[in-house]
């Protein structure tokens, strides 16, 4: 055997345990386990940055697990983005307005300020514009 059993051990916290499970029993891993798996560290452990030689067949199976983890992460991201897009569209959708045509326009007096001057307007000081 060209590898240590400890890197694939699930209970000992092996670096590649989740990757191996993803390659062989993808349904055993939960969404949280897929999201927690660091792909960069896993690929580094497979390629041999740790210095432990691995059989070619095992490294191929582990790379398949990495691809499945990456695929599942991409699928979860797509689902989350689609859900956020739907919520944004629902928040900003135009509402149905059942206003009669008579009330669609306002009367002139309802939207225009009166030109009458009252006591409060007389007591206000003139605005000082410093245009220098």
Return d(Cα 122, Cα 82) in angstroms, integer: 59
- Beta carbons of 26 and 69 less than 8 angstroms apart: no
**Confidence label for 4 from pLDDT (cuts 50, 70 and 90):** low
Residue 11 pLDDT > 70: no
DSSP state of 68: H
- 14: Cβ contacts below 8 Å, ≥ 6 apart: 6, 7, 8
Does 38 score more than 70 pLDDT?
A: yes
pLDDT over 60 (residue 33): yes
Q: How far apart are CA 48 and CA 64, in angstroms?
A: 16
């Amino acid at each position: 055997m060209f590898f240590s059993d400890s890197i694939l051990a699930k209970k000992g916290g092996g670096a590649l345990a989740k990757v191996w499970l993803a390659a062989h029993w993808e349904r055993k891993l939960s969404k949280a386990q897929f999201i927690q798996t660091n792909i960069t560290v896993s690929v580094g452990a497979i390629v041999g940055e740790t210095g432990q030689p691995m059989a070619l067949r095992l490294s191929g199976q582990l790379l398949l697990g990495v691809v499945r983890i990456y695929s599942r992460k991409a699928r979860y991201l797509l689902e989350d983005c689609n859900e956020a897009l739907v919520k944004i569209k629902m928040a900003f959708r135009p509402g149905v307005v059942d206003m009669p045509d008579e009330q669609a326009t306002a009367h002139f007096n309802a939207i225009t300020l009166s030109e009458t001057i009252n006591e409060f307007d007389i007591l206000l000081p003139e605005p000082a514009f410093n245009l220098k």
